[in-house]
Copies of this chain bind each other. A is one copy, B any other.
Amino acid sequence: MERKEKSSQDESPDTIKILVATDIHLGYMEKDPIRGNDSLTTFEEILRLAKQNNVDLILLGGDLFHDNKPSRKTIHGAMTLLRKFCMGDKPVEIEFISDQSVNFGHTPFPCVNYEDPNLNISIPVFSIHGNHDDPTGLGTLCSLDLLSASGLLNYFGKYSSLEKIEISPLLMQKGKTKLALYGLGAIKDERLHHMFRNKNITMLRPRENKDDWVNVFVIHQNRSKHGETNYIPEQFLDDFLDLVIWGHEHECRITPTSNGVNKFLVSQPGSSIATSLSEGETKDKHVGLLLIHGTEWKIKRLKLETVRQFKMQDIVLADTSLNPQDADIAKKAEAFCLEKVESLLREAGNERTGNVSQPDKPLIRIRVDYSDGFEPFNKHRFSQHFVDTVANPKDMVFFHRRRELHLESKPGM
């Protein structure tokens, strides 16, 4: 399938417009006095973008919540924002075609929320769960079940069998455009890997006029290889798909790419908040505007403006003019790094988006390689210089020797 840029079609009554986002991680570091509200701030921006762009629906790819049991404040914040932005008088123009008792059979109201006569929904939200907000405990429920029970969100892609899964698509139509939306909530990678290998994952397809449908699959798994079976190779996925929205991986690689083998393209929106101080999280963060017209589609990137800035730099002391034999080398190395951070802060200052809701203090990370006779300096004293200007003074410096970088902690995505 080709992706053509036909802006004139964007507002056509046949165009399905979808705001696509993943890994919003509501509640991340909520107890931090500086960063505690970041996730909700950007969730609000995402919902506002959906409204401004007049989308037909919002599609979320898992990890809406950071904690499996989010605090009351976080659930309350999510509910408040959804009620504020996704309810209202704008009519939803998508016709829901598939059997809702199948698509939402796991919920007490197996009905898409905008067709419930008791709810006035302007933008329906559809979400799968991620590994952070997966179903657990009594009743095997997750936080999305609370949003679903209260009518604020359509939770799909919940399959409980550990042996065989048949994924039934949500079939939607707007004018001549037909969307088959497949979803699969996060499952342990190894287990899903084996289920795919053993041909126990089946994607059901509409019986008639198969070629009229645009087939989108949203999944939340490891995409990059972490061991033999601890990821899902793209090649496992069905080739009738047109687009795969890949959640879980936090680096924004939203522009759809082909692996050269499969016919489908993969878009990886990435997280809307940095939950680790790793390279991938330093990239600009975007959500997608997926436009489907007939059997053509494209994704426009929408840059998020409220994301806290994150600047990272690698410093190899041996590559500088510093001499490890100097009497006061520790002091000199510290001064060198101080200057580097000041420089990152200036850069951040120059690159602010101008959005009033963007937090002011950036995240800073310098990874200092002290191989070849250098010594680490005192991190705590170093951070004292930046308590008023950096969001994460306590963990801004990471010391390592050559080839130790893999030791850096990476919290689960």
Binding site for B on A (CB under 8 A): 30-31, 69, 71-73, 75-76, 79-80, 83-84, 87-89, 108-109, 117-121, 137-139, 141-143, 145-146, 149-152
Closest to A117 in B: B120
6 shortest interchain CB distances as A-B pairs: A150-B150, A118-B120, A73-B139, A87-B118, A73-B138, A79-B149
Bound CA span A71–B121, Å: 28
Bound CA span A66–B30, Å: 26
15 more A-B residue pairs beyond the given contacts A80-B109, A83-B109, A89-B117, with a C-beta to C-beta distance below 8 A? A69-B72, A71-B137, A71-B138, A72-B142, A72-B143, A72-B145, A73-B138, A75-B146, A80-B108, A84-B108, A118-B121, A119-B120, A146-B146, A150-B150, A150-B151
Q: Which residues of B contact A149 (CB under 8 A)?
A: 76, 79-80, 83
Q: List 17 A-B contacts (CB under 8 A).
A: A71-B138, A72-B137, A72-B142, A72-B145, A75-B146, A79-B146, A80-B108, A80-B109, A80-B149, A83-B109, A83-B151, A84-B108, A88-B118, A89-B117, A117-B120, A119-B119, A119-B120
Q: Which residues of B contact A143 (CB under 8 A)?
A: 72
Q: Which residues of B contact A73 (CB under 8 A)?
A: 137-139, 141
Residue among A79, A117, A150 with the highest chain B CB neighbour number at 10 A: A150
Separation in Å of the A84 CB from the closest CB of chain B?
Answer: 8
Q: Quick one: copies of this chain in the complex?
A: 2
Q: Which residues of B contact A84 (CB under 8 A)?
A: 108
Closest to A149 in B: B79
Q: Which of B76, B87, B89, B146 contacts A72 (CB 8 A)?
A: B146
Separation in Å of the A286 CB from the closest CB of chain B?
Answer: 28
Q: Which residues of B contact A31 (CB under 8 A)?
A: 138
Decide: B30 and A138 in contact? CB cutoff 8 A: yes
Closest to A88 in B: B118
Q: Which residues of B contact A151 (CB under 8 A)?
A: 83, 150
Bound CA span A165–B147, Å: 34
Q: Which of B79, B118, B145 contacts A119 (CB 8 A)?
A: B118
Separation in Å of the A157 CB from the closest CB of chain B?
Answer: 18
Closest to A30 in B: B138
Bound CA span A127–B86, Å: 26
